Structure 1
Amino acid sequence: MQRITKLFTPIAFSLSISLFAQEHVIDSTKNTKLDEVIVTGQIEPQSIKKSVFNVRVISKEDIQRQAANNLGDVLNQYLNIVVRPNSSDGRSSVSMFGLDGQYFKILVDNVPMVSDTGLGNNVDLTQINLDDVEQLEIIEGSMGVTHGANAVSGVINIITKKSTKNKWDITATVQEETIGNEYEPLGKEGRHIQALRAAHEINDNWFFSIGANRNDFQGFKDNRGGKDFTENTSDIEYQRGYSWLPKEQFFTNALIRYQKNGMRLFYRFEYLNEDIDYYNPIVSNEFSEQANSVMRISTDRRYYTDKFYHHLNGVGKLFSTLDYNVSLSYQTQQRELEQFKYYIQTGEEANNETKPYQETDVIYSTGTLSNFFKEKKFDLQFGYEFVNTNGYSSSVTGLFNPTENSQNTDRRLENYDFFGVAEISLSDRFSIRPGYRYSFQSKFDDQWAGSFGMRYLFNHNIEARASYGRSYRTPNYDELYTYFVDANHNVQGNEQLIPETSNSAEASIKKMSFFDSGLKLSNNINFAYMAVNDRIELAVVQTTPMLESKYINISKYQMWNVSTGHQVGYKNLSAKVGFTIAGISRKIDNGLAVSDDKFLTNYQFNANLAYTVPKWKTTFSAFYKLNGKQQQYIESTDASSGDVIYVLQELESFGLLDASVKKTFFDKAFDVTLGARNLLNIVNVRSNIGASDAHTTGSTNNLLGYGRSFFLKLTYNINL
């Protein structure tokens, strides 16, 4: 299969280029579709064409065609992005340009989301529900000026719905999905989703919406025995438990909005409750006097997570001229651990003990002031961002150094930032955008970010953009405070870490073409370069008398990237195809060994197709993405000498193919979506490095999926 997909990639890419080259393009100022309006990184909402940044928009229609359960399902299909699932804890994070989720910021209505280790970064994609989303906006590259620390590789802004075209919009959804070949209707296998949302336009001034969603993922057993397996074997494929942990999530959200005379005020509330079950593969015997027999038991765990999100936003005029946009947010994430003894034959539990595990509390505020000049050729924006983050981890995690007065680690990080951005239209065609941010840090030396962007509109609907950005990433909670030391381990954080700094540059050309026949074409090519200095790595700093690992600033990262994308729109057909190739260099020097710093290349290809048959009220969709072989040097130890060495890790290429059919009934009152995910049946992808131990070489399989799955989604819409 991989040989077929590798052959298909250049052929499809060449065909897309030749298709666009064979037509004679007719310039037209008439666009049959209104420009998409974006807000991320803009002084004020505006069309994509006017933006100095390259912004990718994922519409709610794109999300619906995929019947996506969470943000990870959507991002899986987009270039320069890799979704990294973790079957051991049920989480999924995002990687862009080879940099993990610490460098990529996720926002909801321009407010960063709370996570285990801070704000906006390393956010679990499975905890982001999409029922109330209007569109997603993705900007690649340094966004440190407008979005602060850790927006190094890019940002994604989740824009929620704040209005409706009808007096009432009520939507009820039921979705059933297999997990590989495991499924029971509304039972103990598969995924089962129920959702309800109601939105009401009370009058011209008032609007509210409320929603709830239950996502019950029953886990993926694969070759394991599940919860009630009683055998105790050394073969991992026949042990008790699950390859992918069961997880149940409840989402609720509510929004109330008031607007009048150019002023808008809204309050948004979200709540997530998540339960993850871990079933220990080790089974032992215990004699029960009550049953007068030997019982099979295991020590199991449950993780309970509660996440609260509060956001108050105000937009309007100050002194009848200046535009203000102010947000105040309070977010908290709390996790508890329940440990108990489970009697497998009877299903009874005993010795249940629940302890605090982890908590993150964030007070956040950001605001901007703009429109200082009547002349629209020049605009200026000043802004601030205040962040107060309190991290707490219980000693039960086993990963953090206790303080002098308790067995827990409780630390606070603060920053107070101020920034300014100017947009200058030197002509109707040529615009520039300089920006600067200064950050006062409570833990580290003060930081700064800068940017400069240009946009030029040529004749024949050709758009050219170029930008430069300097940003920074501050060390996270784990890197600062980890302390996992026992007879067999010595892994430590480092409170002396300094922030990483990055420099990036990007250039792009985009061509839009409109034909008298109604055919629309879009072609673009992008070039990017990024360098990250003082990158933080967990490295071996001592080999005797035992291995000691510590987080230190030792790595330099460089990346170049060339990507191209092409879109076709004709009547009821929409098609997109894209290709990207990147070279990544990571030089690591821990004082004991130095890694190779050569550039390792990786490519990705994607394509998606949507075709609507109006007579049938049916849309057919397909999404495909090929992730090429991924390589990087990682730290290991020589089996014979015990010396630290750097070896090349390779993760083989794999492709993801999804497809769906959506049909509407009763004048769009009832929707049925039938489809499949992972049609190529990807489960394990081979790597030459042990996934569970970065210091162990050898061939292994990385669990990246749970196989081919099918889904049926039923949605009932009431529009009054």
Structure 2
Amino acid sequence: MKSKITLIVTFVFCHISFAQEKDSIVANKLAEVVVTGQLGPQSIKKSVFNVRVISKEDIKQLAANNLSDVLNQYLNITVQNSGSDGRSTVSMFGLDAQYFKILVDNIPLVSDTGMGTNVDLTQVNLDDVERIEIIEGSMGVTHGANAVSGILNIITKKAATKKWEISATVQEETVGDEYALFDKGRHIQALKIAHNFNENWYGNVGANHNNFAGFFDDKKGKDYSVNDGLRGYSWLPKEQFVGNGLLGYKKNNFNIFYKFDYYGEEVNYYNPILNPQDNYPFPETYYAKDKRYFTNRFYHHLNSNGKLFSKLNYNVSLSHQKQERDLEKFNYQLETQEEFDNTRATYQSKEVLYSTGTLSNFFNTKKVDFQLGYEITNEKGFYDAIAGLFFDNLQQLKNVEKELDNYDIFTVAEINLSDKFSVRPGIRYSFQSAFDNQYASSLGLRYIFKKGLETRASIGTSFRTPNFDELYTYFVDSNHNMQGNPELVPENSTSYELSFKRDCLLNSGGQIANNIALTFLDVDDRIDMVLTQTTPTLNYKYVNINKYKMWNVSTTEQYTYKNWNVKVGAALVGISQKLDLAALNITSDDKFLYSLQLNSSISYNIPKWNTLFALYYKYNGQQQQFVAGTDENGDAKFFLNEVKPYSWMDTSVRKTFFKNQLEVTAGARNLFDIQSVQLIQNGGTGGAHTSGGSDLLLGYGRSYFLKLTYNLNFN
């Protein structure tokens, strides 16, 4: 606590009294280049947007294999896990993954229900990642539909410093306290080969295998033959295969690359319910009705950028992505451990043809830059009834096939009124095939004061289009009736942000950097599944009904001195949601509900030992939300649900040997041994939300890892 107070006092002193500052900005901050939302690659200092960067070094210190391993430690971001299907998704500012857009080299990544949204974080491999760039707030002008709460852009590696760069990795990790060489724990192997053929041609290929053997907890695994409900896993076993390659060419003012990625996944579900099998005259035997889920995703990206007519800057990308999910049903005989009656079918498919391009640098002056851009998206989606029930025009279907197209044009100007003051207006118009045409606009300002204080202000709008489930789901049983709604309209959002950033050098040789941001987000016509009828059955339907407001104040401070690097951050979020159920004549309270997040990290480097120690901590405060349910009389009512606070801590030690050829990283995740957090459901019986409490799944407890990487680089 004393060290934190000292750090804060030192920071305030740096900002209020400039006596200790040298007239210089930290050199490495000047050199940091970003591309997300920019007219072209440029220094982060010159960016009108407040860009947050997760470096390759940060990823290595966390021994992260996928996005889920990384994002747990960052402010305003919450990772939501599901042990039942192995998915992890991101929530930002209280809005789920449908509002947050994930891109790879500026190309939205296809998912089950979205294009760039609702992405499973565990399916995003980080082996060839150079850095990750995050911008918070509505980014509809530069990134189109669904960029409501923010965007995350993964920048992959496209160059090598040596003629040959070969990297091989083995990582072993416990799952909680469970580990065995093959059938328990997490086992990762990776290989990456990069080659500069000559000064113009570059290529790389890579492969990654990640075997998550599942988390037993109190379950007994797939071969447990007692019919007491303990068969199976608390977290399902999952095996992933990743393959990728890139070929690039550059000469003078012409650059082109082709990138290919393959992702394959197998998730196994073992039914806890056993069925007796007549085996007369022998003793009764059992079999279980099990399932396997398969995912195959293919990603192609062709990009060309450079100059036209020795003046205009162009950047054009063409991408084709296809993802298919298969379900295999089979019976598993417990005594013989054999499968029978296997059937496999594709239940979900999405194919996307996507292209985006920009043209800029129209004027022979650094005072004004102007960018014209386009975006074309063609989505073809398929859902079979084995994934759920769907309807179209009130007719129940065996499957649903739909095609969604949008054709967008946008323009952005960047006006440098002086070296210190920049203005950036922008507008986008989207021609939609399934909804009314949409538009987005933005205005950004950047001003640098005399003492190096960077000030940024922005206002931006965006829109979110309804997803497949919201439009077409139809599920009916004896107690529930849940319906999609083809008449849904896109949601619209507006965000406002004001930020202050400053880096300074102290006479002691230390460096201090601070970033303070204030954000307000307003979402209209928010889509939600609402209770529309309580008797004789509970009827739920997706409708444009909610009003959502959020304000956030966050700050991060970084202090660097000699071999020490310390970061401290805090974020306070207030969320107001108004749910108006006109059919039931009830309205929720729209007061702001508050949540606090804190994070910190500390690292210490010992150069003579080639060793780096790192510790990461994040506190997630209590979260509250109004939900609809029914009281003891069966009447509809709103109840205030609470998620109790919890903390997350990771640590690692990284050491290199043999002139940095061998890199060893050891550490632990989730040091506080968190598995779940209590969800308090305040009242409500007979409905979707019952009284009492339950557990919200967060993790599988404290785990330990050991990662070995061998790097062979030569000319």
With the length of structure 2 as denominator, give the TM-score of the two structures: 0.96
1:478-497 residue pairs with structure 2 within 5 A? 478-497=469-488
Pick the aligned partner of 1:108 from 104, 110, 122: 104
1:184 counterpart residue number: 180
1:599 counterpart residue number: 592
Query: Aligned letter for 1:576?
Result: K
Pick the aligned partner of 1:585 from 570, 576, 592: 576
1:241-260 residue pairs with structure 2 within 5 A? 241-260=232-251
Corresponding position: 1:469 with 2:463: no
Query: Take 1:36 and 1:518, find their aligned partners in 2: how far apart are those partners?
Result: 21
Query: Take 1:406 and 1:480, find their aligned partners in 2: how far apart are those partners?
Result: 13
Contact 2:390 2:396 in 1 (8 A): no
1:575 counterpart residue number: 566
Contact 2:26 2:504 in 1 (8 A): no
SS at match of 2:304: strand
How many pairs does the alignment contain?
Answer: 704
Q: Provide, for residues 493-517 of structure 1, a one-character-per-residue CA deviation record: whole Å limited to 9, x for no partner.
A: 1000011111110101112111344
Query: Take 1:104 and 1:170, find their aligned partners in 2: how far apart are those partners?
Result: 34
1:548 counterpart residue number: 539
1:183-332 residue pairs with structure 2 within 5 A? 183-185=179-181, 187-233=182-228, 239-288=230-279, 292-332=282-322
1:35-46 residue pairs with structure 2 within 5 A? 35-46=31-42
Corresponding position: 1:339 with 2:329: yes
2:621 counterpart residue number: 628
Closer, same or farther: CA 32–53 of 1 in aligned 2, 3 Å: closer
How far has the Cα of 1:636 moved from its partner?
Answer: 1.4
How far has the Cα of 1:89 moved from its partner?
Answer: 0.8
1:701 counterpart residue number: 695
Query: Take 1:12 and 1:182, find their aligned partners in 2: how far apart are those partners?
Result: 36
Q: Which runs of 5+ in 1 are unaligned?
A: 1-7
Query: Take 2:445 and 2:566, find their aligned partners in 1: how far apart are those partners?
Result: 29
How far has the Cα of 1:13 moved from its partner?
Answer: 5.6
SS at match of 1:445: coil
Q: Provide, for residues 429-470 of structure 1, a one-character-per-residue CA deviation record: whole Å limited to 9, x for no partner.
A: 100100000000001111000000100000111101100011
Q: Provide, for residues 540-599 of structure 1, a one-character-per-residue CA deviation record: whole Å limited to 9, x for no partner.
A: 112222111110001000011111110011222211110010100000012212111000
How far has the Cα of 1:228 moved from its partner?
Answer: 1.6
SS at match of 1:64: helix
Closer, same or farther: CA 500–405 of 1 in aligned 2, 3 Å: closer
Q: Which runs of 5+ in 2 are unaligned?
A: none
1:4 counterpart residue number: none
Query: Aligned letter for 2:50?
Result: N
- Once the two structures are overlaid, the 10-residue window that deviates more, 25-34 or 475-484, is 25-34
Q: Provide, for residues 185-223 of structure 1, a one-character-per-residue CA deviation record: whole Å limited to 9, x for no partner.
A: 2x1000000000000011111000000000000111111
SS at match of 1:401: strand
Contact 1:636 1:697 in 2 (8 A): no
Query: Take 2:608 and 2:248, find their aligned partners in 1: how far apart are those partners?
Result: 38
Query: Aligned letter for 1:393?
Result: Y
Query: Aligned letter for 2:665?
Result: T
Pick the aligned partner of 2:404 from 407, 413, 435: 413
2:681 counterpart residue number: 689
Query: Aligned letter for 2:104?
Result: V
- Once the two structures are overlaid, the 10-residue window that deviates more, 147-156 or 316-325, is 316-325
Pick the aligned partner of 1:675 from 667, 679, 683: 667
2:391 counterpart residue number: 401
Contact 1:27 1:461 in 2 (8 A): no
Closer, same or farther: CA 142–655 of 1 in aligned 2, 3 Å: same
Query: Take 1:131 and 1:635, find their aligned partners in 2: how far apart are those partners?
Result: 43
Query: Aligned letter for 1:506?
Result: E
1:617 counterpart residue number: 610
2:373 counterpart residue number: 383
Query: Take 1:476 and 1:520, find their aligned partners in 2: how far apart are those partners?
Result: 46
Contact 1:118 1:391 in 2 (8 A): no
2:70 counterpart residue number: 74
Query: Take 1:51 and 1:648, find their aligned partners in 2: how far apart are those partners?
Result: 41
Corresponding position: 1:522 with 2:518: no
Q: Provide, for residues 215-242 of structure 1, a one-character-per-residue CA deviation record: whole Å limited to 9, x for no partner.
A: 0001111111211222223xxxx62111
1:355 counterpart residue number: 345
Query: Aligned letter for 1:171?
Result: S
Contact 2:354 2:375 in 1 (8 A): yes
Contact 1:465 1:508 in 2 (8 A): yes
Closer, same or farther: CA 405–577 of 1 in aligned 2, 3 Å: closer
Query: Aligned letter for 1:280?
Result: N
Query: Take 1:356 and 1:288, find their aligned partners in 2: how far apart are those partners?
Result: 34
Query: Take 2:392 and 2:525, find their aligned partners in 1: how far apart are those partners?
Result: 28
Closer, same or farther: CA 562–247 of 1 in aligned 2, 3 Å: same
Q: Provide, for residues 395-427 of structure 1, a one-character-per-residue CA deviation record: whole Å limited to 9, x for no partner.
A: 111232279796211111111100000000111
Query: Aligned letter for 1:544?
Result: T
Query: Take 1:22 and 1:329, find their aligned partners in 2: how far apart are those partners?
Result: 50
Closer, same or farther: CA 597–374 of 1 in aligned 2, 3 Å: same
Contact 2:612 2:655 in 1 (8 A): yes
SS at match of 1:18: helix
1:436-455 residue pairs with structure 2 within 5 A? 436-455=427-446
Query: Aligned letter for 2:411?
Result: G
Query: Aligned letter for 1:706?
Result: Y
SS at match of 2:390: coil
1:60 counterpart residue number: 56
Q: Provide, for residues 357-390 of structure 1, a one-character-per-residue CA deviation record: whole Å limited to 9, x for no partner.
A: 1111111000000000011110000100011111
With the length of structure 1 as denominator, give the TM-score of the two structures: 0.96
Contact 1:13 1:579 in 2 (8 A): no
Query: Take 2:100 and 2:522, find their aligned partners in 1: how far apart are those partners?
Result: 15
How far has the Cα of 1:267 moved from its partner?
Answer: 0.5
- Once the two structures are overlaid, the 10-residue window that deviates more, 240-249 or 280-289, is 280-289
Contact 1:431 1:454 in 2 (8 A): yes
Query: Take 1:87 and 1:69, find their aligned partners in 2: how far apart are those partners?
Result: 18
Query: Take 1:161 and 1:621, find their aligned partners in 2: how far apart are those partners?
Result: 25
Query: Take 1:441 and 1:677, find their aligned partners in 2: how far apart are those partners?
Result: 44
2:634 counterpart residue number: 642
1:427 counterpart residue number: 418
How far has the Cα of 1:246 moved from its partner?
Answer: 0.6
Closer, same or farther: CA 271–539 of 1 in aligned 2, 3 Å: same
**Percent of matched pairs sharing the same residue:** 56
Contact 2:134 2:153 in 1 (8 A): yes
